[in-house]
Amino acid sequence: MDHQLIERAAKDILQSKKTIAFTGAGISVESGIPDFRSAQGLWQKYDPEEYAHIHAFYANPDKVWLMLKDMFSLIISARPNPAHIGLAELERMGLLSSVITQNVDGLHQAAGSSKVIEFHGSHRTLTCLKCSNRVDGTTLTLDDLPARCPRCSSLLKPDVVFFGEPIPWDAQIASFEESQSCTAVLVIGTSAVVYPAASIPFTAKERGATVIEINTEPTPLTGQISDYLICGPAGKIIPAIVDEVKKMRGSEKS
Ligand code: APR
């Protein structure tokens, strides 16, 4: 972990008028939820065209529910890791305005972040595509899956955004407002290859924001729009940045 870059990030956050975080599956890997495109990612096991496209769900919901049940089993047992907790602490310190996440695992909220924009929806509710009934998913156990509509018995679809589906309009508007008004964005644990989500750091950059990448490897943003990449696991880097911020703040006050 490059301590000079940790110090630089802490300074950038303290000097920034408005900082946001943009997170992907990598921030939850240390909570036991695999990401999608790394060597052990979910898409190595399930072809996203066959399991994560809305047309696949319409054609063969039972088959898609095999992947969904696998994903739910990981999410149900996952707890926030030090990266999620560190972002919630920055919010409490008044240094983080919001988290825009591509993740559907709810771990940012579980860690205490209060302004979380779920760009790809959430696993917490499910909807019946036949009668539009919406069901609370937080009370479901693995034995209840695949979940059926209590009203018409059709298979329910989790309110997560499948490929081929639109992004929830409220999430799009809120994300655009945050990314075009921030002065720094922490881009954490995302391969930045899925649009329109991946346009968020570009919107921030166009408005002059500092783009701070935290990832275990370079991405298409690195060397392009990122000011710098702090290479390593988010579960170590975020707490190190928070500790450095506290140290710098402490020395400011003394
Ligand atoms: N700390 C930081 N970064 C990590 C860690 C970690 N511990 N582990 C993995 N990463 C990085 C990987 O190097 C990769 O760049 O996290 C990134 C994960 O990328 P993806 O698996 O592509 O996940 P994500 O960017 O969130 O995917 C975007 O694609 O499949 C869709 O809807 C799905 O929301 C998802 C979207």
In the chain, where are the structural domains located?
Answer: 1-33+80-120+168-254, 35-77+123-160
Which protein residue's CA is at the shortest distance from atom 15 of ligand 1? 191
- CA terminus-to-terminus distance, the chain: 28
* pLDDT tens digit sequence for 99-126: 999 999 999 999 999 999 999 999 999 9
162 lines ligand 1 (CB under 6 A): no
**pLDDT band of 253, cuts 50, 70, 90:** low
User: What sign does the CA torsion over 71, 73, 79, 81 have?
Assistant: negative
- Among candidate residues 210, 165, 163, 244, the one with its CA nearest the CA of residue 22: 210
> Which pTM value belongs to this model?
0.97
Taking the centre of ligand 1 as the mean of its atom positions, its distance from the CA of residue 217, in whole angstroms, is: 10
199 lines ligand 1 (CB under 6 A): no
| Ligand 1 atom at minimum distance from 42 CA | 21
- Among candidate residues 84, 60, 254, 20, the one with its CA nearest the CA of residue 157: 60
Amino acid at 57: F
Q: What's the Rg (C-alpha) of the chain? A: 19
CATH 3.30.70.120 fits 35-77+123-160, yes or no: no
pLDDT of residue 1: 82
Taking the centre of ligand 1 as the mean of its atom positions, its distance from the CA of residue 120, in whole angstroms, is: 13
236 lines ligand 1 (CB under 6 A): no
Strand 184-188 to strand 19-23: parallel, antiparallel, or no bridges (unpaired)?
parallel
pLDDT of residue 252: 65
| Ligand 1 atom at minimum distance from 43 CA | 30
Taking the centre of ligand 1 as the mean of its atom positions, its distance from the CA of residue 35, in whole angstroms, is: 5
Q: What is the mean pLDDT of residues 35-51?
A: 96
Is 123 assigned a catalytic role? no
* pLDDT tens digit sequence for 161-170: 999 999 999 9
Q: What is the mean pLDDT of residues 223-243?
A: 98
pLDDT of residue 144: 93
- For 161, the token pair is 């955004």
38 lines ligand 1 (CB under 6 A): yes
Question: In the beta sheet, which residues pair with residue 181?
Answer: none
pLDDT of residue 250: 86
Q: What is the mean pLDDT of residues 52-56?
A: 96
Write the DSSP string, the chain: --HHHHHHHHHHHHH-SSEEEEE-GGGGGGGT---SSSTT-HHHHS-HHHHSBHHHHHH-HHHHHHHHHHHHHHHHT----HHHHHHHHHHHTT---EEEES--S-HHHHHT-S-EEETTEEEEEEEETTT--EEESTT--GGGPSPB-TTT-PBEEEEE--BTSPPPHHHHHHHHHHHHH-SEEEEES----STTTTHHHHHHHHTT-EEEEEESS--TTTTTT-SEEEES-HHHHHHHHHHHHHHHHHHHH-
* pLDDT tens digit sequence for 175-210: 999 999 999 999 999 999 999 999 999 999 999 999
Q: Which CATH class is domain 1-33+80-120+168-254?
A: alpha beta
Given 84, 108, 120, 123, the catalytic residue: 120
Amino acid at 17: K
Kindly list the distances between the CA atom of residue 92 and the CA atoms of 26, 86, 98, 113, 175, in Å, as whole numbers in the listed order: 23, 10, 11, 8, 20
Which protein residue's CA is at the shortest distance from atom 30 of ligand 1? 36
Taking the centre of ligand 1 as the mean of its atom positions, its distance from the CA of residue 99, in whole angstroms, is: 15
37 lines ligand 1 (CB under 6 A): yes
